[in-house]
A and B are shown apart, each in its own frame.
Chain A
């Protein structure tokens, strides 16, 4: 049972344009959501997060939107840069469960020149 789903395995975007990565979840108990970025041969690195009490969080070029009624979140990267090319994982946790994260399968973003 895949509780966190990233239905797009890959995405290609031109440099300078907006990248939108999507994530859906099924567990209504999730209360905290995170995005991770992963380069080849490295561990994932934390990018941005959002609590379920908010619907938007911004950090520089990165914005995460949360739509609880649709159980959907998205990561917007504006403007996209070649260095953003990586695999992006969406993750979620339930409060009080030892902070265990459930991860999606990832979306590979390629930013082209």
Chain B
């Protein structure tokens, strides 16, 4: 049982390049989230989804886009990478309101 799988684990991007961070879950959870964690900071919500076809902005959505065509997949797209997007990105799912998140192992992104 894989849980939440994130790829790639590491990536170095040049300024202005684009990339997609992949997130796949096999727990059939409706709720999915993308967070970023900057050094010494808590996790900030980028985007979230309450089910296939439904997405919404979180606290720090600028520079990112998401889609949710299936229950399993919730990719995060960076169109024009900027140094401010250097961070560790975590994808998470949640079964419901009174359950904890299940996180993926993260993607460490460096923009140079």
> Shortest beta-carbon distance, B96 to chain A, in Å?
7
Contacts of B74 in A (CB 8 A): none
How many residue pairs between the two chains, A and B, have CB atoms under 8 Å in the bound complex? 61
The verdict on B75 contacting chain A, using a C-beta distance below 8 Å, is: no
Query: Nearest residue in A to B90 (C-beta to C-beta)?
Result: A43
Query: Nearest residue in B to A34 (C-beta to C-beta)?
Result: B100
Count of chain A residues near B, Cβ 8 A = 27
Interface of A is mostly: loop
The verdict on A89 contacting chain B, using a C-beta distance below 8 Å, is: yes
Cα A49 to Cα B58 in complex, Å, equals 23
Are A44 and B97 CB-contacts (below 8 A) given A98-B31, A98-B48, A98-B56? Answer: no
The verdict on B102 contacting chain A, using a C-beta distance below 8 Å, is: yes
A79-104 interface (Cβ within 8 A of B):
89, 93, 95-96, 98-104
Q: Mark A1-38, 1 if CB is under 8 A from B, else 0.
A: 00010100100000000000000000000001010100
| Contact residues on B (Cβ < 8 Å of other chain), bracket | 20 to 34
> Which positions in B face A, CB cutoff 8 Å?
4, 31, 33, 35, 40-45, 48, 50, 56, 58, 90, 92, 94, 96-98, 100-106
A42-66 interface (Cβ within 8 A of B):
42-46, 49, 51
Closest 8 CB pairs of A and B: A46-B100, A43-B103, A103-B42, A103-B43, A105-B42, A43-B105, A98-B50, A99-B94
Cα A101 to Cα B101 in complex, Å, equals 9
Cα A98 to Cα B105 in complex, Å, equals 22
Interface of B is mostly: strand
Are A9 and B98 CB-contacts (below 8 A) given A41-B105, A98-B50? Answer: no
Q: Are B103 and A99 in contact (CB under 8 A)?
A: no
Beyond known contacts A43-B104, A95-B97, A101-B33: 13 more, CB 8 A cutoff = A36-B101, A43-B103, A45-B103, A89-B43, A96-B97, A99-B31, A99-B94, A100-B33, A100-B45, A101-B43, A101-B101, A103-B35, A106-B42
